Amino acid sequence: MERIPVRIVAESGVGIPAYATEGAAGVDLRAAEDVVLRPLERKLVRTGLRVEIPPGYEGQIRPRSGLALRLGLGMVNSPGTIDSDYRGEIGVILVNLGSEEIRLSAGERIAQMVFARVARAEFVPVEALEPTARGGGGFGSTGT
């Protein structure tokens, strides 16, 4: 498995993210503050972390499936992207899709971050695109 150096600054009392298992794709991100989310409410939750991701990579912020199943807790923009030139604090936009209030404590796992390679497109203007069997068929056009 490829390893990349990611420099990190963590607020006092906020730990460095870690992989839960040897095969885990993402590191757990934790809330840096206590949070209360009413049903259908969304909030930006601080993590207390700032990172320096190498050029050519991004950090993808993804929801935790256990919280989604148990509490109805999701992310509004999933996956979120942390660009390699961003140096601000990582925040996670959480939404309570359940019918009960959700209380999260500082230090609780709220999301995960996966590091992935990125490519930059070089757009080539053309008059027409190569045809395919699917063509311009959109949502649901390939059947079930």
pLDDT tens digits, residue range 36-87?
Answer: 999 999 999 999 999 999 999 999 999 998 888 899 999 999 899 999 999 9
Confidence class of residue 128 from pLDDT cuts 50, 70 and 90? very high
Taking the model in full, what pTM does it have? 0.86
Domain count, the chain: 1
pLDDT band per the 50, 70, 90 thresholds, residue 137: confident
Instruction: Give residue 86's pLDDT.
Output: 98
CATH number at residue 63: 2.70.40.10
**72 close to 28: Cβ distance less than 8 angstroms:** no
What is residue 144's predicted lDDT score, i.e. its pLDDT?
A: 60
In a domain, 101, yes or no: yes
Tokens of 130: 């190569």
Instruction: Judge whether 138 lies within some domain.
Output: no
Asked if residue 129 belongs to a domain, the reply is no
Is 94 within the bounds of a domain?
yes
Task: Return the pLDDT at 89.
Answer: 98
83 belongs to a structural domain: yes
Residue 128 lies in a domain: no
Q: Is 7 contained in some domain?
A: no
Confidence of residue 143 (pLDDT cuts 50, 70, 90): low
Does residue 67 sit within a domain? yes
Q: Residue 79: which domain range?
A: 25-117
